[in-house]
Structure formats: structure tokens, C-alpha cells
Amino acid sequence: MRIMENPIQFVQWLRSVAPYIHAFRGKTFVVAFPGELVMAGALPVLAQDLSLLHALGIKVVIVHGSRPQVEEQLALRNVETHFHNGLRITDAAALECAKEAAGELRLDIEAAFSQGLPNTPMAHAAIRIISGNFVIARPMGIIDGIDLELTGVTRKIAYETIHPILNAGGLVLLSPLGFSPTGEIFNLTMEDVAVSAAIALRADKLIFITETPMMTDAAGTEIHELSAHQARATLNEGCLPADSTFYLQHAMKACSGGVPRAHIVPFATDGSALLELFTHDGVGTMISSQNLESLREATIEDVGGILKLIEPLEADGTLVKRGRELIEREIDYFSVIEHDGVIFGCAALYPFPAEKMAEMACLTVNPEVQAQGDGERLLKHMEIRARAAGFSQLFVLTTRTAHWFLKRGFVAATIDDLPKDRQHMYNWQRKSMVFIKNL
């Protein structure tokens, strides 16, 4: 982008990303991708994007797949393998191919993270990638009477070794191979390693960057978000292609293992991981263990998020200026709408018990997501709060949002209609209009 052609847009964009940067700093993300991504030549760009996450203070664990690379090795060596229920039966010759593929991929990934030419996104990056015998595996065993030989499953992830590496600023790389106490090597799936790592490390996110296109429902509508409950229903419908089903099953497994969010993001879109993480709607599918968006009472941890949300409106005079201290003191009056850890909306309810009235103030919805009903949801919520507290009237003072309130049952009133204490605080310079709604 030629930044100086549109510096205002650039600054606005950078500021819009700030809440995500604050929310993600110090968090652990497990990022898993298939061997197809490397085949498609997308590794150097992914390395740049993941380096950026690392630079923003996110702890990154990478898990790579190797299916097409193993196929290549098998073909080169004329090794024939068999499958059972979609799982490769790994004999000694096939394992050699898996080792060869994983070794090559590891080196390619290390090389990609060593980029650092001046004027490229990775200049000054100097990222260190650490890999080792962090995945402990066991044989999958005999299924339906068929011995899967050296095909295994993850038994344990050496989280106690991985955490200090991440804390020291290293990136951890895991291959789809695991080791057993008997000294054997087992061939694993990338998805299994990624889910096990995300659960063991108590990761905040598991991100699959996939060769599959964006998931759609039976009607062909893109699926951007699913709660664990909705994800189960989608699987039961049986409309997803096999690859998407496989990813979704693993994402759900991670969520039920305690990972709050799993994302399935197609790598066909340039920068898809960044778009998914740093925009409200994303370009992939986010699966969450809880409800994604919550409307709840604010806590002291939300003060930073509320300030970020209202500061631009305070600056242009839409809202009255409140400092951090005031919001901290009055945090119990606030309710917020949170989405994936970021505050997208807020409102405050100030009580005037003597007159059985309450003031709704500071009603704000992030411009990125306005006109989707969040403002109305906040209003309804504040009405419920006010009624529950025994108030019979809700009032607002506004300079620019009169029509919004009129449309929602408020009627114009005068300053004399306000509670006595509020009349004394009325700011005659702002000349706000008064609207009241009977509850």
C-alpha cells in the first residue's frame, strides 16, 4: 500500500487493530497447516504473517502437515501403502518416507522464518524456531483386526518444556511424528498433534490454515462463526465436504478440551490468518466453546476496552469526556458487548432512586459493527436492568442521536423533567436534548 497516498485511512486502520493487539498480547496460539500449503508456495508469506503475530507478543506454536510430501517420497521409492478407514497403515518403509518428508519440511520452515532482507515484512525479525522430541506418541493399535503398525496417536505433549521456550520468545515447531518410551517413531496426523498441543498448552486459539475453501451451509451461505453446539448440529446435517468435516471435528475436540476458540481459515486468501484475527467477521470459520458474543455487566478488566471504544466519540464531542479514573469508579454502572475478547459496545446506567429514574449514558457501538442491532440490544438490556432495580423511567441526554431514541419509544422532554440532582449537573454549553421512556 502507498501509505502516504491515504495517510488518514492508514492511521484509522492501524487504530482499529489496536483492541485486538491489546487482547492478544501474551496469548498462546497454535497454528497448524497442511503440507498442501507448502506445496502451493504459500510458506514464505505465512512465515511473514506469523512473525508479525510473534512481534505483537503472541506466543506461536506451529504444527505442520506432510501428506503430499510423504506421497512424493512414497512414489520416489516405489513404496505402496494401504489405508484403513482413511488412515495410512505405516510400515517401516512408509515411516522412512514420513521422516524424510518431515525433515525436509522442517528445514524449509526454518528457512522461511530466517528471511530478513531489508524492506521486507521480516526485516529485523530474527526469530528462533525450536523443535525437538516434544510429542510423545503411542501406536494406534489394531482396529477391526487390522494392525495400523507405526501409525500412532499423540499421548502427551511436553508442555513443561514448551512453555519456557515460548516465554523466552522462541517459536515452537511440531511435526506430525511422535516418539514413544520404547524409542520408536510414530506417524501422526497434523490435526491430532495440533489439537493435543492446543489442549496441553492451554492455548487461547487453535488456528487451522487449510487447503479447503470457506465452509458453507446447505444453502451455500458462508459460515463465519459457530458455537460448539451449532458446530455439532452442522456436522449432524452431513452437508460439509469430507475435509471440512475432518477439520471441524478436530476444532470441536479442541474446544471441548478447553481451548476457547478454534479457527478454520482457507490459505487461498492472501493474509487469511491476519484477516481472520484482526477483523470482526474474519475470512474463515470460528468455533467457540462458549457463546461468541456476550452482553454482560462490565468488570474492572473492561476499563481499557471501554476507553478504546469511546475515545474517538469523546474526541469529536458525541460523548461527554470521562477519564479512566471515572470509568474505573463507575464500572459497575456499565454493561458491555464482547466479541472474541474485544469490547464492541457499551452503555452505562446511572441511578436516581429518589425519582425512580435512571439515566442511560455512554451508549456506544463500534463503527465497524454498527447497524446490526447491537445498539438496540444494549438499550433493551439497560431497560431490563433499570426495571429490575425498581425504576419507572429511563432518560437519555443526547446531542446527535435524537432520532435513534425517538424510534425506540423515547419522547422529548425538558430539563425540568430530570431528577433534581441531574438538573444541577446539566451542561448548558452542550445543550443536550432530553428524552424519556416509561418502563
Ligand X SMILES: CC(C)(COP(=O)(O)OP(=O)(O)OC[C@H]1O[C@@H](n2cnc3c(N)ncnc32)[C@H](O)[C@@H]1OP(=O)(O)O)[C@@H](O)C(=O)NCCC(=O)NCCS
Taking the least distance from each CB to ligand X, the nearer of 291 and 372 is 372
Taking the least distance from each CB to ligand X, the nearer of 33 and 410 is 410
Taking the least distance from each CB to ligand X, the nearer of 45 and 320 is 320
**Exposure of 172 by Cβ count < 10 A (0-12 exposed, 13-18 middle, 19+ buried)?**
buried
Q: Name the site residues for ligand X (rule: CB under 6 A).
A: 313, 318-319, 363-365, 370-376, 396, 398, 400-401, 403-404
User: CB 396 → ligand X: shortest distance, Å?
Assistant: 5
User: CB 405 → ligand X: shortest distance, Å?
Assistant: 8
Taking the least distance from each CB to ligand X, the nearer of 165 and 319 is 319
Taking the least distance from each CB to ligand X, the nearer of 124 and 407 is 407
Which residues, 6+ apart, have CB-to-CB distance to 73 below 8 Å? 79, 96, 97, 98, 100, 101
DSSP per residue over 146-206, as a string? EE-BTBEEEEEE-HHHHHHHHHTT-EEEE-SEEE-TTS-EEE--HHHHHHHHHHHTT-SEE
Taking the least distance from each CB to ligand X, the nearer of 329 and 400 is 400
Taking the least distance from each CB to ligand X, the nearer of 35 and 375 is 375
Three-state DSSP state, 309: helix
User: CB 319 → ligand X: shortest distance, Å?
Assistant: 6
Contact 267, 37 (CB under 8 A): yes
What is the distance of C-alpha 131 from the center of its chain? 25
Three cell numbers at 351? 441511578
Three cell numbers at 426? 446539566
User: CB 27 → ligand X: shortest distance, Å?
Assistant: 27
What is the identity of the amino acid at 109? I
Separation of alpha carbons 312 and 320, rounded Å: 11
User: CB 426 → ligand X: shortest distance, Å?
Assistant: 14
User: CB 439 → ligand X: shortest distance, Å?
Assistant: 18
DSSP annotation of 415 reads G
Three cell numbers at 126? 530474527
Taking the least distance from each CB to ligand X, the nearer of 215 and 346 is 346
Contact 435, 412 (CB under 8 A): yes
Taking the least distance from each CB to ligand X, the nearer of 93 and 313 is 313
Residue 151: name the closest of 92, 66, 79, 217 by CA. Answer: 92
User: CB 362 → ligand X: shortest distance, Å?
Assistant: 7
Separation of alpha carbons 232 and 252, rounded Å: 8
User: CB 403 → ligand X: shortest distance, Å?
Assistant: 4
Residue 427: name the closest of 398, 407, 403 by CA. Answer: 398
Which residues, listed in sequence order, are joined to residue 197 by a DSSP beta bridge?
none
Three cell numbers at 227? 458455537
Separation of alpha carbons 198 and 204, rounded Å: 8
Contact 384, 347 (CB under 8 A): no
What is the identity of the amino acid at 56? L
User: CB 375 → ligand X: shortest distance, Å?
Assistant: 2
